[in-house]
Amino acid sequence: MPTPLRIGVISSGPAEFFTIHTACTDAGHLPVAYFYGRSLRSGGPNLGDAGETTSAILGAIPPGMDLLLPGSVEGLGLMLESYRPDLLIVFGFAWKLPPSLLAIPRLGALNIHVSMLPKYRGPAPLLWAIRNGDPIGGVTVHRMDDDFDTGNVLAQRDGIPLADDIDWATYYTEAMPVVRDLLRTALDRAAAGHAGEPQDDSAASYAGFMEAEFSVIRWSDSARTIHDQVRTHRFMRSPDRPLAQVGDIWLHVKRTSLEPAEGVLMTCGDGKPLWITESEEVPEGKGVRGPHRT
């Protein structure tokens, strides 16, 4: 049995923390602190569901585990130093961590990224996989370096189904066992000092946050494109997007079908039909103005 590593964990929700904690303890290592990423950037405002997520994490946290909510990179660095971790594991955290922080853990930092790197580098890989209609996704555990998602790969696996009706619960059921298994492999390699395999930069693509225009449906797009736009927003749990103009009214479109179904039938830019099967009318003047009214 190798000497147990002291591990700091930065993540975004109870399911992620639980999966990482289980992989670490199964491998004989000791998570010493949880750090919840409550904002999209260092010094930025809290996420809208940060309070709810913090409460959920507290409800699932192991007895005696410290939960910290850093507000800035500087604060995170000071917290990490105080715990003297051998290794940092990151999953679902949008901040760019500077080299000075990555150097704090003796063995560096590992990131769990939900794509087959170098495909979909960036903060929103799963959203882009859904948006692009990918039938399957992957998971990569890689070393963190000075840039986003460019470090050497320690373990990865493809083949996670991205169901047409995907939501977090169905994705969790398929993906988290894969994350746990890959992290076990990556922990063994990291503890042994393995550098990992370099990524092929020529095959890289970037998955940034969704642009503002993505919140409005254009019927000139293909039926598949619009269907995946709706799927993406539903996975994001967008409260009132995407919007679509149907006749003289605006709808918050919640669900569509590429196959005949009960609902409003629309013809899209590629000449193919799309059925709006779940929607809600948007009151006049509420979130529909300016360029949306074209």
Same domain, residue pair 227 and 102: no
230: in domain:
yes
Domain boundary among the residues 172, 203, 234 is at 203
Q: Does the N-terminal peptide bond of residue 242 adopt cis geometry, omega within 30 degrees of 0?
A: yes
Q: Mean of the per-residue pLDDT values for the chain?
A: 94
Same domain, residue pair 196 and 285: no
Cα–Cα nearest to 89, from 64, 107, 62, 69: 107
Same domain, residue pair 59 and 161: yes
- What is the tens place of the pLDDT at every residue in 63-98? 999 999 999 999 999 999 999 999 999 999 989 999
- What is the tens place of the pLDDT at every residue in 190-202? 999 999 999 999 9
Same domain, residue pair 270 and 151: no
CATH number of 282's domain = 3.10.25.10
CATH number of 37's domain = 3.40.50.170
1: in domain:
no
CA 267 to each of CA 98, 175, 259, 281: distance values in angstroms, whole numbers, following the listed order: 49, 35, 13, 19
74: in domain:
yes
Domain boundary among the residues 138, 172, 203 is at 203
72: in domain:
yes
Model confidence at 124: pLDDT above 60: yes
Same domain, residue pair 137 and 37: yes
Same domain, residue pair 49 and 105: yes
51: in domain:
yes
Same domain, residue pair 12 and 116: yes
104: in domain:
yes
Cα–Cα nearest to 198, from 153, 148, 144, 142: 153
Higher pLDDT: 289 or 92? It is 92
Cα–Cα nearest to 225, from 207, 204, 242, 208: 242
What's the confidence (pLDDT) of residue 117?
A: 98
62: in domain:
yes
Same domain, residue pair 16 and 75: yes
Model confidence at 287: pLDDT above 80: no
Same domain, residue pair 58 and 126: yes
- What is the tens place of the pLDDT at every residue in 93-114? 989 999 999 999 999 999 999 9
Per the structure, how many domains does the chain have?
2
Residue range of the domain that includes 199: 6-203
- What is the tens place of the pLDDT at every residue in 25-43? 999 999 999 999 999 999 9
Amino acid identity of residue 283, one-letter, is: P
Same domain, residue pair 160 and 186: yes
Same domain, residue pair 143 and 65: yes
**Buried-exposed string 202-233: b where 16+ CB fall within 10 A, e elsewhere:** eeeeebeebeeebbbbeeebebebbbbbbbbb
Residue 23: Cβ-neighbour burial (10 angstroms; 0-12, 13-18, 19+):
buried
Domain boundary among the residues 176, 203, 230 is at 203
Cα–Cα nearest to 110, from 119, 118, 102: 102
Same domain, residue pair 171 and 235: no
